[in-house]
Structures are given as C-alpha cells and as structure tokens.
Amino acid sequence: MNPLETFLLAVALGCDAFAVGLGVGTRFCSRRQIFRLSFHFGLFQFAMPLLGWAMGLYLVGLVKKWGPWLAFFLLVFIGLKMAYESLRGEEFQDECPDPTRGMSLIVLSLATSMDALGVGFSLGILGRQLLGAAVVIGVTAAAMTWAAMRIGNRLSTLWGRRMGVLGGVVLVAIAFKLLLG
C-alpha cells in the first residue's frame, strides 16, 4: 500500500473517532479530557489493525457480533444523558458522567476502532505489511479526535446548551450507525 492509500485509509477509519470527538467535545473539553480521548482513540486505532491481523476468523465474527451492541447502548446512554442534562440547565451539568474516563472510554475506543480490526484482518490475509500503516492510522485518529473535540467545544461556546443537545443527538446517531452497519 502506498503512502497516499495508507493516509486515505487512516482518514476513513478516523471518521468515527472524529464524529464521537465532536459530540463529546460539546460538553467535555479540558486539556486532560482532550488528551485522554485522543490518546485512547489513537492507541486503539493503532492496536486494532494489529490485533485483527493476528486474530482468527472466529474471534473476528464474535467481536463483530457483540461489539456494536455494547457500543450502541453506551453511546445512546451517554448521548441521551448529555442532551437531557443540557436541556435541564447549568446547575445540573456535573451529573453527566465523563465519557473520557473509565469503562466509557474503553468502550468508546473499542467502538470507534472496530473497522480498524476488520481492516487489519483483511490486510493480514493479503500478506501486507501492517506496522507502518497501523502507526499512520493511530496518529491520524488521534489528530482527528483532538480537532473534533476542539471544534465541538468552540461550537458549544458559540451556541451554548443547544450544542450539548446536538452533541447528544450526534452520539445517538453514531450508535445507530454502528449498530446498523
């Protein structure tokens, strides 16, 4: 795979990370939160192609079967809670759990990198070299997540609570996209 193809693949795989980062950035955008989400999305986008390359066909089918459901429920929960809290007002803002921490962070990282798992499996079958491509994929996903969170935060600053609602709706939409393919 030439460098342009690798970069285009990385951007395509980073689109889910960008969309989630945009939604999360409307409510959670401290430097630490941006770093955590960007780092983990990049790390998972790097590791999943390598894992997919090394895994057998049975495990790929199992992960593809249950992974989207887990991601769906988590994204719907976070998205609806984010939208609800934005509509309730400023005094209740702290009640919404931070999706850049704990199990939410792990599940979101897994959810946004499932396509990378399949790509890694495909490239492994084709006998392609993967380490360089995995590095490009991971760095691109981290950069796209960072940019999306900054953009989401700026839009939230401009449009206030409406962006929190929009961010929640975006996360719910991504959940349905992950579930329905």
Per-residue pLDDT of the chain (181 residues), as tens digits, is 788 888 988 998 888 889 889 888 888 878 999 999 999 999 999 999 998 888 755 555 666 666 667 667 766 777 777 677 667 755 444 556 788 888 889 988 988 888 888 788 777 766 667 889 999 999 999 999 999 999 988 887 777 667 667 767 777 777 787 677 6
* Dihedral pair phi/psi, residue 17, rounded to 5°: -65, -40
* Residue closest to 140 by CA, chosen among 16, 2, 1: 16
Write out the two tokens for 4.
Answer: 């342009």
Give me the pLDDT at residue 137, please.
95
In degrees and rounded to multiples of 5, residue 131 shows phi and psi of -60, -50
CA end-to-end span of the chain: 26
In the prediction, which pLDDT does 52 show? Answer: 83
Domain count, the chain: 1
The pLDDT of residue 141 is: 96
pTM for this predicted structure: 0.73
> CA–CA separation, 112 vs 114, rounded Å?
6
Give the domain extent around 17.
Answer: 3-180
Return the structure tokens found at 29: 């955008």
Which pLDDT value is given to residue 9? 86
Give residue 100's pLDDT.
87
Reading the block at residue 71, the tokens are 């991601």
Residue matched to tokens 């897994």: 110
Contact status, residue 108 vs residue 73, Cβ threshold 8 Å: no
Query: Which residues fall within 8 angstroms of residue 51, CB to CB, at 6 or more apart?
Result: 117, 120
Q: Given this model, what pLDDT does residue 87 score?
A: 72
